[in-house]
Structure 1
Amino acid sequence: MSIKWRVSLISIGTIAGITLLFTMFIYFSLSKWMMEQQDHSALTSALHIALAYPGNIEQGSHNSNEKSQSWLSQFDTKNQTFYIIGLDGKTVASLGNTFGVLPHSLALTRTQKGALAHVNVRGHAFVRIILPSHAESGKTVAWVISYASTDVVQAYIAALVRVLIFGSLLALVLAGLSGYVMSFVALRPITDIIRRMRHMDAFSIKGRLPHDSGRDEIAELSKTFNEMLDRIRKTIEKQNEFIADASHEFRSPLTVIEGYINLLDRWGKDDPAVTERSIGAIKKEAARLRRLTNGLLQLASLANVQLESMPCDAKRVIEEVVLQFSEVFQRNIAFEHPDEAVMTEMQSEHLHQVTAIFLQNAVKHTLEGQEIAVRISRRKGGLLMIVEDKGEGIDQEHLPHLFDRFYRSDRARSRSTEGFGLGLAIAKEIVGLYQGEIRVVSEKGVGTAFSVTIPDR
Structure 2
Amino acid sequence: MRSITWRLTLWYAAILMAILFICGVAAFWVMRHLLLTEAAREVEAAVAAVQKLTSPVHENREEFNHVDLDDPELTAQDESGTIWLQITAPDGRVLNSSRALGNDVLAPGYIGPPVITRLRGQKVLLAGAELAGGALVQVARPLSREENFLKTLAGVLGLLALGGVVLAVAGGWVIARAALRPVQGLIRTARQISTTDLSRRIALRGPRDELYTLAQTFNQMLDRLEQGFRSQQEFVAAASHDLRTPLTVLKSYTGLLNRWGKDDPAVVEESVQAMTKAVSVMERLVNDLLLLARMQAGPPLRTTPLPLDELAGETVQEAGVIAKEVTVKLGPVERAVVAADEYYLRRALWALVDNAIKYNRPGGEVVVGVSVAENKREAGIFVADNGPGIDERELPRIFDRFYRGDPSRSQGKGFGLGLSLAREIVEAHGGRILVESHPGRGSRFTILLPLWQQEAMTAQ
Q: If the length of structure 1 is used for normalisation, what is the TM-score?
A: 0.86
1:81 counterpart = 2:84: yes
Contact 1:254 1:285 in 2 (8 A): yes
Alignment-mate amino acid for residue 83 of structure 2: Q
* Alpha-carbon offset, residue 307 of structure 1: 5.6
Aligned-pair CA distance for 1:249: 0.6
Which residue does the alignment assign to 2:17? 16
**Corresponding residue to 2:401 among 362, 381, 405:** 405
For residue 120 of structure 1, report the CA deviation from its aligned partner. Answer: 1.4
Please point out which of 414, 435, 443 is paired with 1:448. 443
2:329 matches 1:333 = yes
In the superposition, relative to structure 1, how do residues 54 and 71 fare at CA in structure 2: closer, same or farther (>3 Å)?
farther
Question: Percentage identity across aligned positions?
Answer: 28
2:255 is matched with 262
C-alpha contact (below 8 Å) 2:16/2:164 kept by paired residues: yes
Is 2:390 aligned against 1:383? no
Match for residue 458 of structure 2?
none
- What is the CA–CA distance in structure 1 between the aligned matches of 2:290 and 2:315, rounded to whole Å? 23
Distance 1:132 1:68 in 2: 15
SS in 2 for 1:97: helix
List per-residue Cα deviations over 1:155-176 (Å, max 9, x = no partner): 2222222222222122111111
Residue range with higher mean Cα deviation, 67-76 or 354-363: 67-76
> Residue in 2 aligned with 1:426?
421
Distance 2:6 2:354 in 1: 65
* RMSD of Structure 2 on Structure 1 (CA): 2.9
Contact map agreement 2:43 2:114 (CA 8 A) in 1: no
Q: Which deviates more from structure 2 when the two are superposed, residues 79-88 or residues 8-17?
A: 79-88
**CA distance in 2: counterparts of 1:70 and 1:145, whole angstroms:** 11
> Which segment is superposed worse, 406-415 or 269-278?
406-415
The AA in structure 2 aligned to 1:207 is R
Post-superposition offset of 1:295: 0.8
- Aligned to 1:371, which of 365, 372, 377? 365
1:455 CA displacement: 4.6
Report the AA paired with residue 296 of structure 1: L
Aligned counterparts of 1:248 and 1:225: Cα–Cα separation in 2: 34
1:103 corresponds to 2:106: yes
- Find the aligned partners of 2:397 and 2:74 in 1 and give their Cα distance: 108
2:348 maps to which residue?
354
- Structure 1 pair 156–71 and aligned structure 2 pair: CA distance change class (3 A): closer
Does the C-alpha gap of structure 1 residues 308 and 408 become closer, same or farther in structure 2, counting only changes over 3 Å? Answer: closer
Cα offsets for 1:252-274 (capped at 9, x unmatched)? 00000000000000001111221
What is the letter of the counterpart of residue 290 of structure 1?
E
**Contact map agreement 2:257 2:268 (CA 8 A) in 1:** yes
Query: For 1:162-311, what aligned pairs fall within 5 Å after superposition?
Result: 162-212=155-205, 214-306=207-299, 310=303
TM-score, normalized by length of structure 2?
A: 0.86
Moved more, 405-414 or 354-363: 405-414
Structure 2 gap ranges (5+): 454-460
Distance in 2 (CA, whole Å) between partners of 1:7 and 1:353 is: 58
SS at match of 2:416: coil
Once the two structures are TM-superposed, the CA of residue 189 in structure 1 deviates from its matched residue by 4.3
Q: 1:117 pairs with 115, 118, 121, which one?
A: 115
1:155 is matched with 148
Give the secondary structure class of the aligned counterpart of 1:238: helix
CA distance in 1, matches of 2:319, 2:74: 123
The alpha-carbon distance between structure 1 residues 327 and 251, as it changes in their structure 2 partners (threshold 3 A), is closer
Bigger Cα displacement from structure 2, 207-216 vs 233-242 = 207-216
Is residue 352–residue 445 contact of structure 2 (8 Å, CA) maintained in 1? yes
Retained in 2: the 8 A contact 1:51–1:133? Answer: no
SS of 1:69's equivalent in the other structure is coil
Q: Deviations 1:343-377 (Å, cap 9, x if unpaired)?
A: 33443333212111111222324478643222222
Query: 1:54–1:264: structure 2 CA closer, same or farther, 3 Å change rule?
Result: same
Query: What count of residue pairs does the alignment treat as equivalent?
Result: 442
- Helix, strand or coil at the partner of 2:67: helix
> Aligned-pair distance for 1:10?
0.9
Q: Does the 8 Å CA contact 2:47/2:127 hold for their aligned counterparts?
A: yes
Provide the C-alpha distance between the structure 2 equivalents of 1:37 and 1:163, rounded to a whole number of angstroms: 22
Number of the residue aligned with 1:137: none
In structure 2, what is the Cα distance between the partners aligned to 1:263 and 1:217?
68
- 2:318 aligns with 324
Compute the displacement of 1:89 (Å).
4.3
Residues 1:93 and 2:88 aligned together: no
